[in-house]
Homo-oligomer: A and B are copies of this chain.
Amino acid sequence: MPFPSKNGLKITQIDVNDVRFPTSLGGHGSDALHTDPNYSCAYVTTTTENGKQGFGLTFTCGRGTEIVVLTVRAMKKFILGRNAAEIFADFAGFWRAITNDSQMRWLGPEKGVVHLAVAAILNSLWDLWARLENKPLWRLLVDLTPEELVSTIDFRYITDVITKDEAIKLLKDKLARKDEKVKELSEKGYPAYTTQVGWMGYSDALVKELCNKYLDLGFQHFKVKVGLNLEDDIRRCTAVRKYIGDDKVLMVDANQAWSVGEAIEWMKKLAPLKPMWIEEPTSPDDVLGHAAISKALRPYGIGVATGEMCANRVMFKQFLQSGGMQYCQIDSARIGGVNEILSVYLMAEKLKVKVCPHAGGVGLCEMVQHLQFWDYACVSGTMEGRLIEYVDQQHEHFYDPCVVENARYLAPKLPGYSTKMLPETLKKFSYPKGSEWQHMFKEGIFPRPDEAELVNV
């Protein structure tokens, strides 16, 4: 497949919206460290001279989304006037340029706000590319030759684990079964797990109701939030284990609540309930800490999962090298777009670590399904021990929401990265001018934002 022709693809406009949903009102998404998130995103629309558009986003938790919005604006100067086809033909070079501006890299580098902004922009460019090819993103990725795919990745700082040539060879070795895998994905989809049964803020009655609901929907894997209170965790996990039975899989998620020592001790107490993994036991930056926890919990059959707050490919590299993660939870909107995520999948395959993407939030389920489908078709070639997280929230805001049936993500069929939002959503939930927010301010449900938050209107 040649890269798209340059004709009409000069990028003439980049728009960015601050979109927030008042999810804190229902306790949805609450965990040990995030007690009142308003699931939100910075939403980027990239438009070319001939009117083609790409839509991308990065997920946020409410306050501070305006900072990511301003950062996207500050990065416009690196993109406006460039030709999208030229960007795709040297995508790694473009990635290096936008993540390593000699002045702005001090603000990261490659982490936090600046990298979230890069993710939103890059995601919009990948969406644009897939739309130009008239394919869902996963099919675009599957159809790229190994050389073309690898040309989108900046290998700086990861060559001690995988070089460009090794990556090409790895992909070539998997080519033979690709068509068969694509067919299988198109027919059967990919297994999902649910995080819906065990949010910290949910009542016992709601937990029971949700367990039954998701069992009825065919789910085999259930995740519960832990980490605030051991007795409460034991009570809730025991309840979930009872409702789902011993033949189903339980995972637990501490959302960074513990020190290294606490994580080990706490999980020994939960071990009788047979959780498959403990997710985010401690600081997302603590590679060596995760390695120590992994080692201590191996005798109990508990793996360590992390990644949703892993800053970039260099951090993932070390988690993978060190034995600090047995389940690699890539996030589609934190590290620098599809380009950098592809490099994490390739490192994970080389080091034989299972990738189970983080999802939920806003648009994350929509995005990660494409990545995991590509992984099955072209990289790992297996679903063994692999799952995509599923949370049934905020899908109604997208043109092409993910579809989960019988606890499996069905193959996305429409062109793009499934990241385009409905115009009604933008009208209602743009912050702070959207009609829903104006209504909630008026009713006193949320305070009107102060000057600082209005800067970006």
- Which residues in A have some Cβ–Cβ distance to B below 8 Å? 33-38, 59-64, 66-68, 70-71, 73-74, 76-77, 100-116, 156-160, 256, 259-261, 282-289, 292, 309, 311-312, 314-315, 317-318, 321-322, 450-453, 455-456
Contacts and interface: CB of A to CB of B under 8 A. Distances in A.
B259 A157 contact: yes
Nearest to A74: B452
B318 A106 contact: no
Contacts of A321: 288
A287 B318 contact: yes
Nearest to A284: B109
Contacts of A74: 63-64, 66-67, 452-453
Given A60-B107, A160-B289, A113 B261 contact: no
Given A59-B106, A61-B103, A285-B312, 9 more contacts: A37-B103, A63-B103, A64-B104, A68-B107, A70-B452, A76-B450, A107-B116, A112-B113, A157-B286
A74 B63 CA distance: 8
B452 A105 contact: no
Contact of A100 (B33, B110, B282, B311): B33
B60 A106 contact: yes
B159 A34 contact: no
A67 B318 contact: no
Contacts of A259: 156-160
B67 A113 contact: yes
26 contacts: A37-B102, A38-B103, A60-B106, A60-B107, A63-B74, A63-B101, A63-B103, A64-B71, A64-B103, A64-B104, A64-B106, A66-B70, A67-B107, A67-B114, A73-B452, A76-B452, A107-B112, A107-B113, A111-B112, A111-B285, A112-B114, A285-B314, A287-B288, A287-B318, A288-B322, A455-B456
A422 to B, nearest CB: 24
B33 A105 contact: yes
Contact of A309 (B70, B109, B159, B455): B109
A34 B160 contact: no
Contacts of A33: 100, 102, 105
A279 to B, nearest CB: 16
A224 to B, nearest CB: 19
Contacts of A103: 34, 36-38, 60-64
A404 to B, nearest CB: 24
A311 B256 CA distance: 17
A284 B453 CA distance: 32
Nearest to A324: B288
Nearest to A259: B159
A278 to B, nearest CB: 16
Given A74-B453, A288-B318, A108 B112 contact: yes
Contacts of A105: 33-34, 61
A12 to B, nearest CB: 15
B64 A160 contact: no
B283 A157 contact: yes
A64 B105 CA distance: 9
Nearest to A321: B288
A157 B282 contact: yes
Nearest to A312: B285
A317 B286 CA distance: 9
Given A33-B105, A34-B106, A37-B102, A71 B286 contact: no
A282 B113 CA distance: 22
A59 B103 CA distance: 11
A123 to B, nearest CB: 17
A425 B100 CA distance: 29
B104 A63 contact: yes
Contact of A285 (B68, B315, B451): B315
B455 A70 contact: yes
A403 to B, nearest CB: 27
A396 B321 CA distance: 47
Given A60-B106, A109-B284, A111-B112, A292 B160 contact: yes
